[in-house]
Structure 1
């Protein structure tokens, strides 16, 4: 007798079952790196918030000249804060973006291609914003020794550019988290509750592009800390070489 080449009576049901059970071709090393990077990102954000709340107190410094004086008086603290919350965070973000693409691309390839491109752009924005702040602060404090008025003007310009890059809006980050969460809902590579939470955070970040919704920047930033920790724990703890089947 030859090989039985008969197809399932209901190809649609068979295809759906295959879809649910399709193996995720994930790199364990990249998943582990992504998990650690997500938790490190949360730590970077917490350190940044703590520094600006408890250490970098700008009360008593008013006007453009006061901003320059504040930068000069707190040069080292500002450098460390920016290094951690922007430069290091940007590098960790690159690893997380690639790890999430590796995890979710199997069942949402198109969405994850777009999400990964947006995520890399966001990481670049964070890195550039941080380096601009570090180098700008150093240049301005040096200039202030000889020309305080010009230093105040330059510092104002640096602040505007940094604000445009990401300090004043979380639009790009919101788009990335939204796309990743929607891809996660489709493929179940992450828990449904985490993905729904991510959609909420992402939409909050997207609307910050409108100036009147500026207060949502804080909501987005604080919620991201929870999201990063949750994602990191899932990536480190879940031994999911296969997709977790969805409820029939």
Structure 2
């Protein structure tokens, strides 16, 4: 389970790194504000955006489940109750992320098809669908992600399970996620998103290397 968790963590980091240039620079979807232009962007980039969502969010949600279970396996003997609660939070977060991308992709397909015959209705429909998908994915505040990071890393820090620097980084990420729900501190959501890439990459390397130094027993 530990090797699978390490590989899953590395996948999450790589998937997010691939998603950033695609969404920000290639299609520039976050920079589109006009509702009509948003739907046009969906139409023009439907195939690539669909598969990028699958690779960088849907599979990431599944990988997050593996990481959550792997870390629970490491922490449960040190703080059973906290580890269990953090695991539940992590699984809920993964489930919501999976729901988010499924709503986005399915809704995108409906809107793209509708735009060919009823553009105004398509634009109106997307103005309803997009906020739902975004909210499920954590837009507007990374409370679940913040709590998950904070609990896991605080427990790991106390138990000395992972490198202290990695755990402290996780604590900072967790605090940023929780504070991002405050409207005046909404910018912390971006910091949360970027720093978690570093954390997952680091965690994956630590977990895989640790297993390479000893025989696989799990």
Q: Name the TM-score, length of structure 2 as normaliser.
A: 0.92
CA distance in 1, matches of 2:118, 2:141: 32
Following superposition, the deviation at residue 196 of structure 1 comes to 1.0
Contact 1:56 1:77 in 2 (8 A): no
Flag as ranges the 4+ runs of structure 1 deviating above 4 A.
58-62
Q: Which of residues 64, 68, 84 is equivalent to 1:93?
A: 64
Corresponding residue number in structure 2 for 1:111: 82
2:171 is aligned with 1:199: yes
Change (3 A) 1:227 1:155: same
Corresponding residue SS for 1:238? helix
Contact 2:24 2:31 in 1 (8 A): no
Following superposition, the deviation at residue 222 of structure 1 comes to 0.8
Corresponding residue SS for 1:143? helix
Unaligned ranges ≥5, structure 2: none
Contact 1:31 1:99 in 2 (8 A): yes
Corresponding residue number in structure 1 for 2:210: 238
Corresponding residue number in structure 2 for 1:36: 7
- RMSD over aligned Cα atoms: 1.7
Following superposition, the deviation at residue 170 of structure 1 comes to 1.5
2:110 is aligned with 1:139: yes
Following superposition, the deviation at residue 159 of structure 1 comes to 1.2
Unaligned ranges ≥5, structure 1: 1-29, 242-248
Following superposition, the deviation at residue 48 of structure 1 comes to 1.0
For the pair shown, which has the larger CA radius of gyration, 1 or 2? Answer: 1
Corresponding residue SS for 1:190? coil
When you count helix as a share of all residues, which structure comes out higher? Answer: 2
Corresponding residue number in structure 1 for 2:186: 214
Corresponding residue SS for 1:209? coil
